Amino acid sequence: MAIPFVDLQRQYRENKAAIDRQIREVLDSSGYILGPKVEELERELAEFAGVRHAVGVSSGTDALLIALMALELKPGDEVITSPFTFVASAEVIALLSGVPVFVDVEPDTYNINSEQIERRITPRTRAIMPVDLFGQCADYGRIGAIARRHGLAVIEDAAQSFGAEQEGRKACSFGDIGCTSFYPSKPLGCYGDGGMAFTGDEEIAALLRSLRMHGEGRDRYENVRIGICGRLDAIQAAVLLGKLPALPGEIERRQRVAARYTESLSELVPTPTVRPGNLSVWAQYCIRVKNRRAVQERLKRAGIPTCVFYPRPLHLQKAFAHLGYGEGDFPVAEEVSRDILSLPMHPYLDEETQDFIISHLKAALESEAAKSTQAQR
């Protein structure tokens, strides 16, 4: 039997009654785009995250896009973000003809290094977009202080961190706008594309609602600005409402899975660092390994899937060549991208399967270590 990287089948089986009932309600209502289910989800998630307003959108990418549109980002405006993230974070900046300005990441959390942000601020800087990588919040205490000092907006890319906490506050509550994704494998995932933008500001919330709906005004078919087709659909909202009651328990189970990996592996390889005051939702559990390809190959032969997030930092991607960055500009991001490896991680990973993964990984690491000492002789 193949081991899943993220076990969405098992999650569905455990929550089938609630999910099916929610979806059936949508089918019976024949309201498929926005509507009462999406509104119900927006209320529930706003309450969960502790933010006043939540706006359901068609993906995490679109949440980030309309967040920048709400700031009225102009061509040439700069947004500071991480080079070690999923492409969407920087892509939306470039899509609006803005300039992604990268700042290297911390060597232990892989989140943006807040100590290096200030020296990249220029008169054209409009916002800072930290990414809560692998489920752990960025350093919002420091980042918030920098943003206030320089009059910048903070847009939180919380696509991987819904449910995470920092100093008792929830992800999506730290920025002027917090953006998350419900891509199926994210900590809270739907069965298609979906996302949400959060804000405490009523005016920004109204703007986000207009932007996700072609820039509509107060009346239907009144267009007051250029927007996008970025609405959340009711069936995805139903799936999320069906899964939401299980989320707190799932987050707890993720802590246990992560703790077991760390106990078994920390003597052998660098394991993740969670800063004091942070609760990670473990969107990924990543170790660092030399000879990554060989280790992955050995695990694959044992039926154990692994992934690499991310094999190439954004400043070295062809799509961002126009920004003029090169090899060596962000040494930490570059080094991490060479040896990072994600292990199967989800709330339903049972101890027996995890032990199987750990024992094969240990064998692979030992055999690779033996090979490299031999090579040195």
Ligand X SMILES: *Cc1c(COP(=O)(O)O)cnc(C)c1O
Q: Which residues bind ligand X (CB under 6 A)?
A: 59-61, 85-86, 88-89, 131, 157, 159-160, 181, 183, 193, 195
What is the nearest approach in angstroms of ligand X to the Cβ of residue 11? 18
What is the nearest approach in angstroms of ligand X to the Cβ of residue 247? 17
Q: Is the peptide bond before 310 cis (omega within 30 degrees of 0)?
A: yes
Nearer to ligand X, 192 or 215 (CB): 192
What is the nearest approach in angstroms of ligand X to the Cβ of residue 289? 22
Kindly list the distances between the CA atom of residue 1 and the CA atoms of 228, 249, 326, 344, in Å, as whole numbers in the listed order: 43, 26, 44, 15
Q: Which distant-in-sequence residues (6+ apart) come within 8 Å of 88 by Cβ?
A: 60, 61, 64, 157, 159
Kindly list the distances between the CA atom of residue 136 and the CA atoms of 124, 303, 314, 334, 359, in Å, as whole numbers in the listed order: 29, 28, 20, 20, 27
What is the nearest approach in angstroms of ligand X to the Cβ of residue 234? 17
Q: How far apart are CA 174 and CA 170, in angstroms?
A: 8
Token pair in block for residue 143: 């980042």
Nearer to ligand X, 314 or 364 (CB): 314
Nearer to ligand X, 106 or 193 (CB): 193
Cβ burial of 347 (10 Å; 0-12, 13-18, 19+) is buried
Nearer to ligand X, 131 or 349 (CB): 131
What is the nearest approach in angstroms of ligand X to the Cβ of residue 331? 21
**Residue nearest ligand X (C-beta atom):** 60
Angle (deg, nearest 10), helices 8-29 and 234-243: 130
What is the nearest approach in angstroms of ligand X to the Cβ of residue 100? 13
Nearer to ligand X, 196 or 295 (CB): 196
Would you say 156 and 178 are in contact if contact means Cβ atoms under 8 Å apart? yes
The candidate with the shortest Cα–Cα distance to 343, out of 279, 303, 284, is 284
Would you say 47 and 53 are in contact if contact means Cβ atoms under 8 Å apart? no
What is the nearest approach in angstroms of ligand X to the Cβ of residue 154? 15
Would you say 43 and 192 are in contact if contact means Cβ atoms under 8 Å apart? no
Nearer to ligand X, 89 or 278 (CB): 89
Nearer to ligand X, 78 or 157 (CB): 157
